[in-house]
Every structure is written in structure tokens, then in C-alpha cells.
Amino acid sequence: MGNSIHKSLFARLPAIIGLDHSPEKYSYANTEEWGVIAKEKTAEKWVRTTCGYCSVGCGMYIGVRDGKAVSVKGDPNHPVNYGKLCPKGLAEHHFLNAADRAKFPILHGSRVSWNEALNVMVQQFTAVQKKYGNNSLGVISTGQLVTEEFYTLGKLVQLGFNTRNYDGNTTLCMASAVAGYKRSFGSDGPPGAYEDMALADCIFLIGANIADNHPILTCWLAANENPNKHLIVADPRATKTAQLADTYLPLKPRSDVALLNGIMHLLIRNGTFNKEFIAAHTTGFEEFVRSLEAYTPENVSATTGLPTQVLYKSASVIAQAKALFVGWSMGVNHSDQGTETVNAINNLCLMTQNVGRAGASPFSITGQCNAMGTRESSCTGSLPGYRKYESAADRADMARLWSVDISEIPDKRGYAYPDIIEAIMQGEIKALWVIATNPLVSFPNQKFLKDALSRLEFFVVQDCFHPTPTTELADLVLPAAVWGEKEGTYTNSERRVSKANKAINPPGEAMSDFDIFLEIARKLGVVEKIYPGWRNVGDAFDEWKQVSKGRLCDYSGITYDLLDKVGGVQWPFKEGEDLSTAQSPRRLYGDGVFQHDDGRAKFFPVENKNMPEMPNDEYPFVLNTGRTVEHWHTMTKTANVEILQKLSPEAWVEMNPTDAERLGLKQGESVRVVSRRGSIEKIALRVTEIIGAGQIFIPFHWFKTNANNLTINAFDPYSREPNYKQAAVKVEKAE
């Protein structure tokens, strides 16, 4: 679809979704007070950038006055959002001026110079590594840095500190999508584009509450003009997204594989699968078909709690769709069967040839603004450019590109995030460097985590906020710049690379993460070896482009100038490509050639498994955790935004009216929630039919009422992603 049609879908959105931008609607009384406020908020200049919250990747401008960020507005020409922003995006500039921004390096509670801070860090890390081995240093980063910084950090960890034990907090959110794509298609990389939501006949969302968590994607749904389009939403909780559905499937927790297998069983039974495509482009179909035999509508109904007629109807809608878009998010990934659930989604799309075509794709909806960037360019789950640690050819390629001996490139990845924590507990990892993440809110089973971190010999946290629950435990805090204060690129969920630009200076002595990495390399004596001649992120971008060249995630044709001109470009975009196609949607696997060595995609038989902790008489509820539209992750940013705090000031627990009545609990009263691992002592009760009987829901953002006191440290065997979505708990009146 050409860009003009693409844009026109959005032009009609205000009417479609009932927004009224007319000046009369928003005229204010011309009071003196308003005049003062308006002047303070009137930008002297606007700096084009990309939203730093979620992976939707909306284009925006930051308004600057007297060196301060005073406003934001949507970028009307950006091909993701065409000027629209969600509540978080609209208030994004506020956190830049927060009182708890980290401004100076802090060593054991006292302010020190950068020189002293980095000398101590390098001394401590190298001393630990000398005593216990190189891999006794662990590094945990984030999805919040720019791609140039991820690439720079990967080189520093691999070639400077020579430890393999490096991972991102992205393992807590998207690792199962990555592992699922790799198993099915031979590589990470979401195949579709947002536009596919506007072009599909059937949009099937599984465990994806986009109305709260990726709000601008609902505009792509609204832009679908097909009068017969059908939205199916499968979610145990009747979320805002479920309330938009043509067919809502309120399945029982941990029955999504059964649902998918049940639908595929019916498609096989009715012969609605693409034999030619399967024969020409896939392997493993016969064994996969055999694995579906037991998933009859009756059996699936018993597992999912959905009536058989609903299963027949859903299968029929999917069978009739010329283009099927299957989107998923944390409801799928936050499971110890997440990877296999992704494989089941991919199975469905492969058997119906819903991949690589307009409107047709399996599609992971990522979490953080640049979770994709770290997946592509860093040295966590893969080598840069989706190269495999296990492949001798890929290691040789990396060694050539980096001008190092192949022995410096490891032949398997190090520990994933949860295994780094376990290795600290076991005394194998002794020093830890955490960058732009806050595990003291976000990691499951907080008791276990705190115990592990207390065993470290040296703990460094690099963050743009201090204090946070995590920086308070650190020996050394390094103050970092954040979105709006530095430049680089973000890649969104549809593989679109957009530029984030610097609008203002960071506070105090805070430096960009890029500059911090270069300074550390200097202290280690490796700066010229690993960053030859580098001065700024543009140098890192140039090298990354060469490293990505010829790979699936080919950036070689993307330049900062092009991004400034068009707002965002999907990879692959190869050197020499026609620039006029830069904004057009790009899809992977349209030629039926996948990234496995034989060029074929793989079917995987998947069995529905029980959740790791089943409810019983003592802990009778299944806890579901998630997010709310007003807040971001562990609230380091959004707790500083008054309007968001007013909209959503505290956490809550949702309970079905039948359960509340049985327990004698009332709307709004304080309750205590307890699991085998910990408790929340006081949290407000919401009695609502949004949640089914026997389940409760708690948003995880708040530290004082931290849902991760309750969650279980059970992890997906392939991706190592935590099972955040189900834990057995009890609820009682608070003291």
C-alpha cells in the first residue's frame, strides 16, 4: 500500500474515534493566569524525536523554552502515528525535570567525580574477574537505550570485559517471541507491519491488551475499512481491548495453546489449510498434524472453558479470512510456556499461509521503545545482526568485522537474566552492572532477588534516576542522560527505525550512556581497539550499518538524513535501495524463503501444559499481573508526572463479585494478598466482572504494593522469560 493511502487511513481517525480538534472545543477563557501558563509552555523551538516509552514508536516533537522541555506534540508526518499520542506520550517531557534525576556519580552514598567513579568501577570489576574468572561479572541492560548504545555496550562487554554473562531486561518481556521466531522461522524478526492490522480480514489478538499498553495501535484497528473485518480477542480478563472485540474469548488462564490447537484441529478437519505452501516452504507438518488429534472441540472446551460453538465460530472466521493477523504481547510471553505458545501461533499462520502477505502475519507486539534494537545489535541472545553464537561461520564473520581473533567470540551465549541472578545466588557471579532497569520492582519473586543481590562483592547501577529501589542497593551509581537528552535510533515493533534527538542537556553531570561506555573503555585501555576513531553515536551507527549489511536486519541503506526526512524506515533497507520506497510497508518472508539452513519454516507440535503453580485450598486464586495505560514499567518516569499520578494514584486488585461476596469483601476496602513467597499487606479491592471467578489481577508498576512479591520464579526453558501471569495466591481482609 502506498504512503498516501496509508496516510489517509489516519486522516479519518479523529472522526472514526470521536475526537474533536476544533478550536472552539478547546478555547480557553483569556484570563491573565492562563496567559502566564501558556507563555511558560510555549516552545521557542521544536525538536523532532521518537517517543521513549513503548515499542509502538510514535513520532513526536519536544518543545523547548529557556533550555527546558516544556511541551510535546505528535508528529503529523510520522508513518506510525500521524500526529497522535497516547496519555503517556502527551506528558513525556515532564519527567525530564523531576527532582529525583540522577545528577552525580555516587560511591557508597557519597558524591564523587566521574574519574574516581569509573576508576573504582574498573578496578573492582577487574579484581573480581582476576580472582574468580572473567564470567564472574554479570551485566544486565535494558530496552531503553538507543541502538547505537546497545551496539557499543555489546562490544564493551564482549571485547573489553570479556564476560559472556550479559543480558537485557528484554528477557523479562519479549524473549519468548524471539525464541519462538528463531525456532519457527530460523531468525528473530517480526514479519509484518502495523498496516496489516488495517488490511486484515481477521485480527486475532491473544494476550495483548493494546488499548492500555500500546494505545496508538488501536488507531490501526480503527483504520481497517473492511465492513466484514472481524476482531477476535482471547484474554482471561475482559480488558478494554476485549471490549472492542467482535468475538471475545474469555479463556481460562494457561489454556491459549489448547485454544490454538483446537482451532487448528478444526482447520485440518475441514481441509482449510494451504497444501502447496506447506509442501514447498515448511517441514514437520505431518508430525504437527498428529499432535492436534486430541484437541477436539469437546476436549478444548473442557480446558479453555469456552463453549464448543464459540470454537467452531472462531475457526470458521479464521478459515474464511483471506488475510489473518495474529498479534500477541505479554499474555503469551509472560509464561513458562511462552516460546511454545509463539510456535503454536506461527503454526497457525504457516498452515494458512498467513505470513509475508499484506494483512497477514504472526506479530509480536514488543514492550519497550527499543527492545528491538538490543535484539538486533547487541551481544545478548544473539551476536549482532542476528548471528548465531553456535555458528562457526557467523563467529568468523564477527571476528573479521571487529578485526579480532575468533577466540574472542564465544561459541554459546552466557547466562540469561534469571540465570545471572541464580548464578549470583550460587556464588558464581560476584559483580554486577545494571543499566537502565529497576529489578527491585520488575523481577519476579523479590525475596529471592534481594537475597541474591546481597551476596554481590560490587554492584553498579547506571540510571537516569536516583534514588530508585535498585540504585539504593548499589555500591556505585552512575548518572545517565535519558530520552530527550541524547541522540540515536529506536526500532519499533514493526522493525521501523526512527531517530530520537537531543532537545536539552542532561542535569548535573549526567552523561549519555554512549559517553559512559567510551569512558569505561578508555579506563580499561581498549578504547582504540574496540571503538577506533569514534567520537559520537553516528560513528557507532556507521559501524552497525556495516555489521548488519547482508543480514535479515539490514540497515545499510538507512542514514540519519533519511530518517530526518521521512520519520522512520522499516528494515531491511539495503544500501542503494530506492529512497522513494522508504516509508512503504515492508514484510519478511514474502518469497517463502525462511532463515533456517534449508530455507524452510518449521512446524512444532505443542502440548498445552499446566501452569507452574496450581491453585489449591490454601491459595485458591490465580494471580494475573499486567499494566495500566497511565504508567510505565516501574514508574521511575511516570511517578513524576502529576497528571498521570492523578489519573492513577495507586495500585488495586480486581476480584469477581462472586468471590468477593463469598469472602465478605467489599468494593474499595483494603485487602491482603499472600503467596508462598511473600505478600502485599494493603491494597484496594476493585470488585468487577472484568476478571473471572477464581482469578485476581494486580498492575505491577508500584513498589509499595509490588505484585512481584507474589510472583513465582519459574521460567520458560527456551527463552528464560518469567511466568509473571500465573501464581497461586490467597486474599484476606487487611489488618
In the bound complex, what is the minimum distance in angstroms from residue 652's beta carbon to ligand SF4? 22
DSSP letter (8 states) at residue 572: P
Q: Hey, which residues does 601 pair with through a beta bridge?
A: 282
In the bound complex, what is the minimum distance in angstroms from residue 143's beta carbon to ligand SF4? 13
Residue type, 569: V
Of 7 and 450, CB closest to ligand SF4: 7
Task: Name the residue whose CB lies closest to ligand SF4.
Answer: 89
Burial class (CB in 10 A: 0-12, 13-18, 19+), 238: middle
In the bound complex, what is the minimum distance in angstroms from residue 56's beta carbon to ligand SF4? 4
Of 214 and 466, CB closest to ligand SF4: 214
DSSP letter (8 states) at residue 187: S
In the bound complex, what is the minimum distance in angstroms from residue 58's beta carbon to ligand SF4? 3
Of 81 and 380, CB closest to ligand SF4: 81
Which residue blocks in 356-473 are alpha helix, DSSP H?
371-377, 392-402, 417-425, 439-442, 446-453
- In the β-sheet with 68-74, what is the strand arrangement from edge to edge? 45-50, 59-65, 68-74
Which residue blocks in 223-255 are alpha helix, DSSP H?
none
Of 87 and 410, CB closest to ligand SF4: 87
Of 192 and 385, CB closest to ligand SF4: 192
Of 58 and 449, CB closest to ligand SF4: 58
Query: How far is it, in rounded angstroms, from Cα 434 to Cα 469?
Result: 13
Q: Cβ distance 248 to 231 under 8 Å?
A: no
In the bound complex, what is the minimum distance in angstroms from residue 704's beta carbon to ligand SF4? 24
Of 48 and 387, CB closest to ligand SF4: 48
Strands 324-328 and 202-206: parallel
In the bound complex, what is the minimum distance in angstroms from residue 369's beta carbon to ligand SF4? 7
Of 74 and 180, CB closest to ligand SF4: 74
Of 74 and 138, CB closest to ligand SF4: 74
Residues that bind ligand SF4 (CB under 6 A): 51, 53-54, 56-58, 81, 85-86, 88-89, 214-216
Query: How far is it, in rounded angstroms, from Cα 472 to Cα 592?
Result: 51
Single out the residue of 491, 512, 483, 498 nearest to residue 638, CA to CA: 483
Which residue blocks in 502-654 are alpha helix, DSSP H?
513-524, 527-530, 537-548, 560-566, 642-647
In the bound complex, what is the minimum distance in angstroms from residue 513's beta carbon to ligand SF4? 20
- Rounded to 10 deg, the angle between the 513-524 and 114-132 helix axes is 60
- The shares of helix, strand and coil residues in the chain, as percent rounded to the nearest 5, are 35, 20, 45
Of 199 and 369, CB closest to ligand SF4: 369
Q: Cβ distance 672 to 682 under 8 Å?
A: yes
Query: How far is it, in rounded angstroms, from Cα 7 to Cα 566?
Result: 13
Query: How far is it, in rounded angstroms, from Cα 205 to Cα 203?
Result: 6
In the bound complex, what is the minimum distance in angstroms from residue 60's beta carbon to ligand SF4? 7
In the bound complex, what is the minimum distance in angstroms from residue 647's beta carbon to ligand SF4? 14
Query: How far is it, in rounded angstroms, from Cα 334 to Cα 171?
Result: 10
In the bound complex, what is the minimum distance in angstroms from residue 374's beta carbon to ligand SF4? 17
